[in-house]
Amino acid sequence: MVAEVIAIGSEMLFADRIDSNSLYTSAQLERFGISLIAKTVVGDDLTMIRKALALALTRADFIFLTGGLGPTEDDLTRQAVSEQLGLELVYHPEIVRQIESRFQSLGRSMPEINRRQGFILETAQALENSEGTAPGQYVQFEGRNIFLLPGPPRELQPMFQKYVIPLIEQLGLRPRSFRYFRIAGLPESRVDSLVAPIYRQYPDIQSTILASPGDIELFFFAENDARLAELAEKVTAELGDNIYATEEISLEAAIARLIKERGVTLSVAESCTGGMVGEWITRTPGSSEFFLGGVVAYSNSLKIDLLGVPPEMLRDQGAVSEEAAKAMADGARRRTGSSYALSITGVAGPGGGSESKPVGTVFIGCSHAGRTIAARFQFPGNREVVRLLSTRAALNLLRKELQMTNVEVRMTNEE
Amino acid sequence: MVAEVIAIGSEMLFADRIDSNSLYTSAQLERFGISLIAKTVVGDDLTMIRKALALALTRADFIFLTGGLGPTEDDLTRQAVSEQLGLELVYHPEIVRQIESRFQSLGRSMPEINRRQGFILETAQALENSEGTAPGQYVQFEGRNIFLLPGPPRELQPMFQKYVIPLIEQLGLRPRSFRYFRIAGLPESRVDSLVAPIYRQYPDIQSTILASPGDIELFFFAENDARLAELAEKVTAELGDNIYATEEISLEAAIARLIKERGVTLSVAESCTGGMVGEWITRTPGSSEFFLGGVVAYSNSLKIDLLGVPPEMLRDQGAVSEEAAKAMADGARRRTGSSYALSITGVAGPGGGSESKPVGTVFIGCSHAGRTIAARFQFPGNREVVRLLSTRAALNLLRKELQMTNVEVRMTNEE
């Protein structure tokens, strides 16, 4: 089964617009093993919409037309589909009454033009829009399944869950089983070289890797759940504690959860990341429960004055050194009274590199009761990427320290 | 004149892939008054590419096929265009020699399959690729201008500048005159209500507003430069010092330049933004020349211990208050020895709001010699948006303080 998305709206052709409906739709269809074979964006033009639909009808089992269902004369999707399929548009007064009551509930009266949204293709099923006025439509035509959906993602997405997925299931399609892994601390090439020998043994399982710097997602889809379970076990054994989650959760949110479980507090001491670690940690609502704050020690003077790093250490070992990273983490913990502290000092570039510490050299430290460690990293990429990789590596180091503590605690309890 | 982009490559249909070549191409064509009327993404499939091209040939003056020019059997763009237009592919040994020497310069020998990249449509002009092996192609066909360009943006973009734009100019098209403004400190609706009465007087000028939270871009395109100059003068008078740049530069880069010009130093004291201001300021290479660092004072204890905010002030006025913002900025300046300091304290949400200080209440302070100010903001949106708007508002406040200093200095000099 294959699908095609046609996004409609002249504004979608502006230079900065991203067709997020296509991205959403293809991700949803993937679960059912339905592949997207084309996506097209056209303006509010009757002929363009008709031609795109005509082409899609020649090849796609599922066709999603998004946008162009509003009440104005620019909104031409209904008319284009009607003309292309040779199906009449029928006026449904009960749909208009729903739109009217939606306006009333907002304390407004319905403009006359919204009556246009009451026209539904003669053989189509209307799909209620809980977030807006434009109803969606579903029509089967010569073996094709055609959906007309509203353009705003916050309207389309609930409608997709409530109507489109059940309709796909009614056609006898079942969501495939899947397994999902999130991995930190390994580059994409390394993850792939570790797991490719495993998933190549399972040609019946579809594997996808999505990579952003320092954060990898692995998806496995299959009909057969037992086979998936077998593969997942091998992947888990191979990647070990580089897997930080088996659900859709960001690294910073996973760490926030872990910190709350442990009941500890955190501070940071950042140099080359300039505040990025703190910014990421505080993305999670409620982070004030455990995050105290910290010091952005961009200059050496602040490393000395606010973190207590010895000036002679900066002179002898340099600000980018294992010793400085440890001293920064210890200093942050001492100055803030947190139970854990993270530190980062490195050369983000483009300037500042040397032969022994080229651009991309970053030391990351972590301090907690009785233990201070620092690790050296050599990251590839430009300034932006080095800072991003540094932040994710710091969060990942903290995760491993927190998890190790847990192991120790459990071991102690078992003794 | 209208254009169409056809992006080729099965990987482009993955759920997370954004067709950045379409975005780039449409922005470049806009300058010449060429509108994008459709963009399509298709997989590596001969028939799909041919059908998309056939449709584009019925309506577009310019057709850009991007991707599918690699050396493997999946790379079908050359063949699809050849079959659809009925033009032979001709082998060019001199192009293969160029590809060979490219491999040699990287210390490798050219794989045999790369010979495929030496095939050029019989009436086409080959376009050299300085960043990769796949040459581009340009062919005129029945009044259509057809470009075959490589998929990787870092290859496509230089080729676009070096070959595509001169070829467009050879067709007699001239880049339109344009004016560009970047605005901070005003929401999009306010900018539009201020400038719409102006640009409505100029129906011959094309106006575009692009908005991201706290940062607005205004574009004006026209044939007639004198008319543009007239409009630009009125826009400048209306928006005043809310305009922070008339070139493509980010707010943080504009501020870095301004700070360097003034020869001052900067520190920060951040609460609800958790480090975002520092992170943004240090995005600019060389920011270590003026940025000392600062304190992420997420907890009250750090506001007291590291910034010297009086505990009774936090008790009486609260951590989210004008007084606290001023004390934080003064504290950062005192503790770091910087000449300027910025502070942010606010309620980012979703929790923590009260009747007098609802979610979105943010105080931003700025301290420099002899002057400490703080301003109250009430930002709309969720946690992420409030933090983003806070960061941009803080940078904008600093910009205005720096520019005011300049005015004072100039006034003093003129006396």
Least Cα distance to A381 among A346, A343, A356 occurs for: A346
pLDDT greater than 90 at residue A30: no
Tell the residue number behind the tokens 């052709």, with chain if given. Answer: A13
Q: Residue B405: its pLDDT value, please? A: 65
Which pLDDT tens digit goes with each residue over A207-250? 888 888 889 999 899 989 999 999 999 999 999 999 999 998 99
Preferred mutation among A14, A270, A279, A391 to probe B, highest tally of B CBs within 10 A:
A279
Nearest-Cα distance to chain A for B16, in Å, is 6
Q: Residue B23: its pLDDT value, please? A: 84
Least Cα distance to B8 among B47, B35, B62 occurs for: B47
Preferred mutation among B296, B384, B391 to probe A, highest tally of A CBs within 10 A:
B296
Q: Residue B413: its pLDDT value, please? A: 40
Sheet holding B340-346, edge to edge: A371-378, A361-368, A340-346, A266-270, A291-297, B291-297, B266-270, B340-346, B361-368, B371-378
* A61: CB partners within 8 A, 6+ apart: A1, A2, A3, A34, A143, A144, A145
In 3-state terms chain B splits into helix, strand, coil percentages (rounded to 5) of 45, 25, 30
Residue B189: band (very low, low, confident or very high) from pLDDT cuts 50, 70, 90: confident
- Asked if residues A332 and A295 have their Cβ atoms less than 8 Å apart, the reply is yes
Q: Residue B414: its pLDDT value, please? A: 39
Segment B108-118 mean pLDDT? 93
Which pLDDT tens digit goes with each residue over B118-150? 999 999 999 999 999 999 999 999 999 999 999
What's the whole-model pTM score?
A: 0.85
Q: Which of B270, B272, B293 is opposite residue A298, by nearest beta carbon?
A: B293
Q: Which residue of B has its CA nearest to A31?
A: B15
Question: Is the Cβ pair A276, B272 closer than 8 Å?
Answer: no
- Asked if residues B217 and B209 have their Cβ atoms less than 8 Å apart, the reply is yes
Nearest-Cα distance to chain A for B371, in Å, is 23
Return phi, psi of residue B209, to 5°.
Answer: -115, 125
Q: Residue A405: its pLDDT value, please? A: 65
Q: Residue A26: its pLDDT value, please? A: 87
CA B126 centroid distance within chain: 31
Question: Is the Cβ pair A43, B37 closer than 8 Å?
Answer: yes
Which ipTM was obtained for this model?
Answer: 0.84
Nearest-Cα distance to chain B for A211, in Å, is 10
**Tokens standing for residue A390:** 């540094």
Nearest-Cα distance to chain B for A121, in Å, is 26
Question: Is the Cβ pair A306, B295 closer than 8 Å?
Answer: yes
Which pLDDT tens digit goes with each residue over B154-188? 899 999 999 999 999 999 999 999 999 999 999 88
In the stretch 249-278 of chain B, residues with CB closer than 8 A to chain A read 268, 270-278
In the stretch 60-119 of chain B, residues with CB closer than 8 A to chain A read none
Kindly state whether B198 is in contact with chain A, defined as any CB-CB distance less than 8 angstroms. Answer: no
Kindly state whether B21 is in contact with chain A, defined as any CB-CB distance less than 8 angstroms. Answer: no
pLDDT greater than 50 at residue A37: yes
pLDDT greater than 60 at residue B407: no
Kindly state whether A39 is in contact with chain B, defined as any CB-CB distance less than 8 angstroms. Answer: yes
- Longest C-alpha distance within chain B, in Å? 84
Nearest-Cα distance to chain B for A17, in Å, is 8
Q: Residue A411: its pLDDT value, please? A: 46
Kindly state whether A289 is in contact with chain B, defined as any CB-CB distance less than 8 angstroms. Answer: no
Preferred mutation among B270, B283, B298 to probe A, highest tally of A CBs within 10 A:
B298
What is the C-alpha separation between A203 and B390, in angstroms, rounded?
50
Q: Which residue of B has its CA nearest to A42?
A: B38
Of residues A304 and B404, more confidence is placed in A304
Preferred mutation among B267, B279, B335 to probe A, highest tally of A CBs within 10 A:
B279
Q: Residue B411: its pLDDT value, please? A: 45
Q: Which of A36, A48, A285 is opposite residue B38, by nearest beta carbon?
A: A48
pLDDT greater than 80 at residue A310: yes
- Asked if residues A372 and A329 have their Cβ atoms less than 8 Å apart, the reply is yes
Q: Which residue of A has its CA nearest to B39?
A: A41
Which pLDDT tens digit goes with each residue over B306-353? 999 999 999 999 999 999 999 999 999 999 999 999 999 999 999 999
Q: Residue B191: its pLDDT value, please? A: 93
Q: Which residue of B has its CA nearest to A10?
A: B37
Question: What does DSSP say about strands B243-245 and B177-184: parallel, antiparallel, or unpaired?
Answer: antiparallel
Kindly state whether B196 is in contact with chain A, defined as any CB-CB distance less than 8 angstroms. Answer: no
Residue A15: band (very low, low, confident or very high) from pLDDT cuts 50, 70, 90: low
Kindly state whether A50 is in contact with chain B, defined as any CB-CB distance less than 8 angstroms. Answer: no
Residue type, A74: D
Preferred mutation among B282, B283, B287, B301 to probe A, highest tally of A CBs within 10 A:
B282
What is the C-alpha separation between B263 and B68, in angstroms, rounded?
51
Q: Which of A45, A48, A276 is opposite residue B275, by nearest beta carbon?
A: A276
In the stretch 206-235 of chain B, residues with CB closer than 8 A to chain A read 208, 210
On chain B, the residues whose CB falls within 8 A of the CB of A41 are 38-40
Preferred mutation among A298, A309, A320, A336 to probe B, highest tally of B CBs within 10 A:
A298
* A186: CB partners within 8 A, 6+ apart: A194, A216, A239, A242
Q: Residue A81: its pLDDT value, please? A: 98
Q: Which residue of A has its CA nearest to B298?
A: A293
Preferred mutation among A12, A55, A296 to probe B, highest tally of B CBs within 10 A:
A296
Kindly state whether B31 is in contact with chain A, defined as any CB-CB distance less than 8 angstroms. Answer: no
Kindly state whether B306 is in contact with chain A, defined as any CB-CB distance less than 8 angstroms. Answer: yes
Q: Indicate the average pLDDT of chain A.
A: 93
Q: Which residue of A has its CA nearest to B60?
A: A48
Which pLDDT tens digit goes with each residue over B343-380? 999 999 999 999 999 999 999 999 999 899 999 999 98
| pLDDT-wise least confident of A88-97, A146-155, B9-18, B209-218 | B9-18
Q: What Å distances lie between residue B218 and B188, B221, B339, CA to CA?
A: 10, 10, 33
Nearest-Cα distance to chain B for A189, in Å, is 17
Q: Residue A239: its pLDDT value, please? A: 97
What is the C-alpha separation between B377 and B320, in angstroms, rounded?
11
On chain B, the residues whose CB falls within 8 A of the CB of A333 are none
Residue B381: band (very low, low, confident or very high) from pLDDT cuts 50, 70, 90: confident
On chain A, the residues whose CB falls within 8 A of the CB of B337 are 301
Question: Is the Cβ pair A13, B283 closer than 8 Å?
Answer: no
Q: Which of A285, A293, A348 is opposite residue B299, by nearest beta carbon?
A: A293
Kindly state whether B42 is in contact with chain A, defined as any CB-CB distance less than 8 angstroms. Answer: yes
Q: What's chain B's Rg over C-alpha atoms?
A: 27
pLDDT greater than 50 at residue A380: yes
Q: Indicate the average pLDDT of chain B.
A: 93
In the stretch 350-379 of chain A, residues with CB closer than 8 A to chain B read 350-352
What is the C-alpha separation between A171 and A35, in angstroms, rounded?
16
DSSP B49-102: HHHHHHHHHTT-SEEEEES--SSSTT--HHHHHHHHHT--EEE-HHHHHHHHHH
Question: Is the Cβ pair B278, A274 closer than 8 Å?
Answer: yes
Q: Which residue of B has its CA nearest to A49?
A: B38
Q: Residue A406: its pLDDT value, please? A: 55
Give pairs for A24-29: CB < 8 Å, separation 24+. A24/A153, A24/A156, A24/A157, A24/A160, A24/B15, A25/A64, A25/A66, A25/A160, A26/B13, A26/B14, A26/B15, A27/B15, A27/B16, A28/A160, A28/A164, A28/A165, A29/A3, A29/A62
Kindly state whether B325 is in contact with chain A, defined as any CB-CB distance less than 8 angstroms. Answer: no
- Asked if residues B41 and B65 have their Cβ atoms less than 8 Å apart, the reply is no
Least Cα distance to A87 among A62, A51, A55, A123 occurs for: A123
Q: Residue A16: its pLDDT value, please? A: 64
What is the C-alpha separation between B202 and B224, in angstroms, rounded?
11
